[in-house]
Amino acid sequence: MTDDLHYKTISELAPWIRNGVMSSVELTESQLDRIDRIDGQLKTYATVMADSARAQARVADEEIAAGNYRGPLHGIPVAVKDLCATDGVRTMGGSAVFADNVPDFDSTVVARFNEAGAILLGKLNLTEGAMAGYNPKLDVPENPWKESYWSGASSSGSGCAAAAGLAFGTLGSDTGGSIRFPSAACGNVGLKPTWGRVSRYGVMALAESLDHIGPMTRSAADAGIVLQAIAGLDPNDPTTLPHPVSEMTASLDAGVKGLKIGFDERYASEDVEPELATAITESVKIMESLGAEIVPVTMPANLREYLAAWEPICASEAAAAHASTYPSRSDEYGLWFREWLRRGASLSAAEYADANVLRAACVGEFRVTMRGIDLLASPSTGAAAHPVTPGDMYGTIQQELDPWDFFRFTVPADFSGLPTISLPCGLNGDGLPLSLQFVGHHLSEQLLVQSGHAFERATDFHNLHPPV
């Protein structure tokens, strides 16, 4: 059909599939061929489910031909982070400890992909336990923009696969930034939903009170389509929200005229790479030119102190999540995550409680920052992708996470459970992606998709692809 079929969006492909211009079998085979040709270099997939994907595609074509079209994901190849339980398929969570873990059920997000008629190509690589370091026995995804550059940590396989045209939509998880980090590093759209908007049933936990599951795609509209399919109340996850799921693309062309976008210029530029800071400022000006009102705001003055609460909360909850295998099988974990679990297990209840008091204060102050605005604009990260070595990635060189450098644009929305969207907003001088973030109010994902689409219509950054 086209030489760049792999870079088409779900929005472009869905009418082709619905109208029989292309079959799901043809589209699936094209993706499996591309995975076979280039994923040996990029290492995005932990497990390719070729046989079941082909079977799903055949069923999708039969259903559509019979007039049983399920919606825009019907017949579309997607992939999920290898934290998501998949019936009969190993789910490793990036850890050799779980190399033989084969669930006998589907996580809710996988089940909902199946209900939408999507074609599951496979499971995507990630850091061990969804933290910062990789297990040395497992593959490390390569950033498709530049070899040996950071690919975004935890959901790196999801970000790389979406960027390189190895799936039309992927799922990532975000506990401290891991939908936004790989989206920024790989030049994708990442949509972190409101906490509780998407079920975590069957998804291996890092920190239950912080974990979010969401889509990574090549357009804002596609992120809305994927979120529409996976969101909603789930009786298997009592933390899911009972609110009806909005039609995520219903207001796609409504624009941003009259929207109030908060912007703290100091927050968006202090300790930020100059090229990125400039790109964010220019992006905000674009939104203003589209009719949005830019409102000066101030982020919490104690943000550095508040960010320090993330580590004890995350590490403590990670130790609880891995209690059945740590410390009893500690030698099977990689150095980075083993040390993370050790830290978590050594923390006292008082230290965990103190951290949650700081978290609550941060959430309270962040609510004040968000008062009177519809969205908050900022970078998704403080810098473009940086070079990495095996020592960095496996943790043989232990590096402390500086919360200010690493988490200042991501953790406030994880603490508060607010939804965010990350959007490509240019390339730096080395040809690496730069990323803009909008933070919304609870359950404002439809507005985030609408605003992201408006930005895309005024720019062409989402059509930039890596030189794979």
The token duo for 462 is 């989402």
Q: What single string gives the DSSP state of each residue in 385-411?
A: --B--HHHHHTSS-----HHHHHTTTH
First to last CA, the chain: 20
Q: Which of 149, 156, 148 is nearest to 132 (CA)?
A: 156
Residue 400, pLDDT above cutoff 70: no
Catalytic residues: 81, 154, 178
Average pLDDT, the chain: 97
**pLDDT more than 90, % of the chain:** 95
Does the structure show a pLDDT above 80 at 2? no
Find the angle CA(220)-CA(445)-CA(292) to the nearest 5 degrees. 75
What is d(CA 99, CA 106) in angstroms, rounded to the nearest whole number?
Answer: 17
Q: In 74-183, where do the E strands start and end? A: 77-81, 119-124, 170-174
79 or 2: which leads in pLDDT: 79
CA angle 383, 385, 390 (to 5 degrees): 130
223, 268 Cβ separation under 8 angstroms: no
Indicate if the pLDDT at residue 198 is higher than 80. Answer: yes
Beta carbons of 227 and 248 less than 8 angstroms apart: yes
Q: DSSP code of 169?
A: -
- pLDDT, one tens digit per residue, over 61-77 is 999 999 999 999 999 99
Domains and CATH numbers, the chain: 5-463 (3.90.1300.10)
Mean pLDDT of 353-375: 98
- Residue 405 pLDDT level (bands cut at 50, 70, 90): confident
DSSP code, position 414: H
pLDDT of residue 403: 81
CA 344 to chain centroid = 24
Amino acid at the residue 343: R
Measured CA to CA, the distance from residue 219 to residue 112 in angstroms comes to 21
The answer for residues whose C-beta is within 8 angstroms of residue 54's C-beta and 6 or more apart is 25, 28, 29, 32
10 Å Cβ neighbour count for 430? 12
pLDDT in tens, 214-273: 999 999 999 999 999 999 999 999 999 999 999 999 999 999 999 999 999 999 999 999
Strand order across the 119-124 sheet: 45-48, 119-124, 77-81, 170-174, 212-217, 189-192, 420-427, 433-439, 375-379, 260-263, 293-296
**Nearest residue to 230 (alpha-carbon basis) of 192, 264, 267, 286:** 192
Q: How confident is the model at residue 42 (pLDDT cuts 50, 70, 90)?
A: very high
Q: How far apart are CA 403 and CA 409, in angstroms?
A: 10
Hunting for tokens 């799903």 — which residue is that?
56
Please say whether the beta carbons of 131 and 210 come within 8 A: no
Q: What is the pLDDT of residue 78?
A: 99
Task: Using a pLDDT cut of 70, give the percent of the chain over it.
Answer: 98
**392: pLDDT strictly greater than 90:** no
